[in-house]
Amino acid sequence: MSNDKETPKLDLATLEDDAKLQEVIDSMMADKSKMKMVTKEVGQTQYDTPPIIEVNNKDEDKGFTTRWLKTERIGDDFITEDFEDEFEGIVLHIRWEVKEITWDEKKQKAKPQTWKAFEWEDFNTKFPVYKVGTNEVIMTGDYHEFKEQYEGNYDLYAVLYTEIDEKIYKVKVKGMSRGAWFDFQKKFKYYNKQTKQFIDESRLEYNIKFKTVEDKKGRNVFWRAEFEKGKKFNENGLRRNFQECMRMQVELSKIDRFFQERRNKAEDDEPEVVESTIEEIVDEIPGI
């Protein structure tokens, strides 16, 4: 007989009980962690990247009309097209990505990309940086170590794995849009007058509205992301969202396992030329 603690049963009344709801969330998150540990042992490394959604700050002559754009792989090509001005979705998971800045402000033209890196889980995760062209590992470290070496030469993205109309997308935000996401997450905390404690809500309890606002930095005027809480889910919706979040962890663990093997090898023997299979995976992931 298993000694695992059962997930508490939910009913509408428990959703008004902060302590009970937090117990449900903690239990489900524990289940999610266990599932991630198990799937690390699975030898599957296939990964189909979801379509990417980003704020539209392209020049008007590019012909796009919506404030959010979608980029999706169709055959051998990556196609960018209008998406929506506003939309709603459930943010299931958050990862991080760094990309080299390839625009030369002084010369006002693009410069060649020299390095690339893949998404990673959190700021303590070690990830490799590859030289473009040869795929040689030129450094391996966590974000803090990476920042010391590449300060001023990259953009940091929050990658929000988001379910929109029952399909998974990667909503990528950087700069002030990323800052708006940090600020928005503070809204998932409220003060309970009865217990006199601050309570953390889960973002999985809500649909989230993705909007844009016009902003300014120096002389540059641009659009950035803005976020709002949408509909709050009932007990069935909350449980379903946690289950979908767990499924997302399973899918992401497949690609994590592939790159963890390369990270381990890179740490044992730097520098190295990564096997050609890395090229196949690179081809599957746009923007790297």
Domain boundaries, the chain: 12-284
pLDDT score recorded for residue 275: 37
pLDDT score recorded for residue 176: 94
Output DSSP code: residue 67. S
Mean of the per-residue pLDDT values for the chain?
Answer: 77
Please state, in angstroms and rounded to a whole number, the distance separating the CA atoms of residues 11 and 231: 18
Mean pLDDT of 38-54: 58
Please state, in angstroms and rounded to a whole number, the distance separating the CA atoms of residues 81 and 70: 5
Q: Is the pLDDT of residue 126 over 70?
A: yes
> Which alpha helices (DSSP H) does the chain contain, by range?
18-39, 143-150, 175-185, 235-268, 277-284
Mean pLDDT of 117-129: 88
The residue ranking higher by pLDDT, 201 or 71, is: 71
Helices H, strands E: what count in the chain? Answer: 5, 15
Specify the pTM: 0.73
Please state, in angstroms and rounded to a whole number, the distance separating the CA atoms of residues 16 and 9: 14
pLDDT score recorded for residue 131: 92
Q: Is the pLDDT of residue 157 over 80?
A: yes
Which run of H or of E encompasses 73? strand 68-74
153 closest CA partner among 109, 113, 94: 113
The residue ranking higher by pLDDT, 91 or 75, is: 91
The residue ranking higher by pLDDT, 176 or 270, is: 176
Share of the chain above pLDDT 90, in %: 40
Mean pLDDT of 225-243: 91
pLDDT score recorded for residue 68: 97
Please state, in angstroms and rounded to a whole number, the distance separating the CA atoms of residues 116 and 278: 12
Please state, in angstroms and rounded to a whole number, the distance separating the CA atoms of residues 98 and 119: 8
* Other Cβ atoms closer than 10 A to 227: 21
Mean pLDDT of 178-192: 86
What confidence tier does 41 reach under pLDDT thresholds 50, 70, 90?
Answer: very low
